[in-house]
Amino acid sequence: MAGGLFALLDDVAALVKLSAASLDDVAAGASRAGMKAAGVVVDDAAVTPKFVEGVNPKRELPIIKRIAFGSLINKMLIILPIILLLSEFLPWLLTPLLMVGGTYLCFEGAEKIFEKFGWVEHHEEPKKESKHGKKGDGDAEKKIVRSAITTDFVLSCEIMVIALNEVASEDLLPRAIILVVVALAITVGVYGSVALIVKMDDIGLHMAQKEKASTQKFGRFLVKAMPKLLGGLSVIGTFAMLWVGGHIILVGTDELGFHALYDFVHHLEEPVAAIAGVGGILGWLVNTFFSLILGAVWGGIVAGIAIGFTALLKSGNKNGKDTDTVQKDDEMPVEKAPADDSADPSSIADTSSTPDHGAGPKPNYAPGQSKGPFES
């Protein structure tokens, strides 16, 4: 009996050790995957606060909560099942999909730089306010949430595909658990940070009204720092997108058989990576720098093609509208000129009903005046 109990305890201990090892593997995998997706995460945190600009401050947190819930549904119920099926049955498709996501990241980063220099028009933001009472406010809020969740879907696809690529060698169940952990951690982290950023100025205003001078000073600092923080996040997000996107393209082209770019960067990494103590950091910096450059060039080419194609479409639509206008003008019937209203109506005589009085002028009689003796 005692032997059976000790055997059971040994089995429980072994199971606990196995579970702990599995949890460590999951944590390590989630950490790797989350770090790789950091560029998209920073951009997500920088983009989302813009959706609640101009909104009633009391509605900011409820809107962010709804967006976060929609983001979680995107990741858990739509994206995760699809990419797990692809990784299990069509693993060769992951690298091209990852490169598509990397290309989109490079394009977004390059487009933001173009907008900064005024080379392209800035995207219009959705309207935040409504003048039609509570129902109109509710409709506007739904539009804000829908627009934010749509944007989040694109970013979530990139995050989950990047994360999957880091744990593609794991078995199906650990892979799924790692991706669930990544989805939860990133969603809570991003939208928790967004909620804090959005309310930072309110917190600062509240602190600025306190009696303690140091608290007031810190509160005013928070209010002044918020615009700079959002601007800094936007810049960091742009560079992070170019870096992550460029690195995806760099590794993807190597895996697809084009080794020149990867070999060139790897050759430059080797000398600095051999330096004792700091070689690992320096090698990472070299790889990051050239990934950033590649991302900027790749994104600039794609953005240039997209902008040129859009301009051609707009030009074609404009020419088509001009042609339709000219055709309508040609088909329009010619209207006759209106009669001259300035003519004296008394001078127009109806010859068909008025007797001819000869060559002389027609005599006019005043009212009540009798006609001549020879006229009837």
Which tens digit of pLDDT belongs to each residue from 153-187?
877 887 888 788 778 788 888 888 988 988 898 88
Tell me, what amino acid is at 315? S
Distance CA 341, CA 306 (A): 60
The structure tokens 């990241």 sit at 105
Judge contact between 229 and 197, C-beta under 8 A: yes
Q: 115-143 burial, b for 16+ CB within 10 Å, e for fewer?
A: eeeeebeeeeeeebeeeeeeeebeebbee
Predicted local confidence at residue 34, as pLDDT: 55
Taking CA atoms, 358 is separated from 110, 141, 156, 363, 373, in Å, by: 94, 88, 101, 11, 18
Opening angle at CA 109, ends 106 and 115, nearest 5: 135
Predicted local confidence at residue 341, as pLDDT: 52
Predicted local confidence at residue 296, as pLDDT: 94
User: Residue 243: is its pLDDT beyond 80?
Assistant: yes
Predicted local confidence at residue 320, as pLDDT: 66
For 319-330, how does the pLDDT look when each residue is reduced to its tens digit (9 = 90+)?
766 666 656 655
Taking CA atoms, 176 is separated from 70, 164, 171, 248, 355, in Å, by: 20, 9, 9, 22, 109
Predicted local confidence at residue 132, as pLDDT: 47
Judge contact between 49 and 197, C-beta under 8 A: yes
Predicted local confidence at residue 40, as pLDDT: 62
pLDDT top residue among 280 and 260: 260
60-67 long-range Cβ contacts below 8 angstroms, 24+ apart: 60/198, 60/199, 61/195, 61/198, 61/199, 63/141, 63/144, 63/145, 64/191, 64/194, 64/195, 64/198, 65/191, 66/145, 67/145, 67/148, 67/149, 67/152, 67/191
Predicted local confidence at residue 6, as pLDDT: 43
pLDDT band at 5 (very low <50, low <70, confident <90, very high): very low
The structure tokens 């997500």 sit at 44
3-state helix, strand and coil shares in percent for the chain, rounded to the nearest 5: 80, 0, 20
pLDDT band at 8 (very low <50, low <70, confident <90, very high): very low
- How many angstroms separate the first and last alpha carbons of the chain? 153
User: Residue 346: is its pLDDT beyond 60?
Assistant: no
Distance CA 336, CA 340 (A): 12
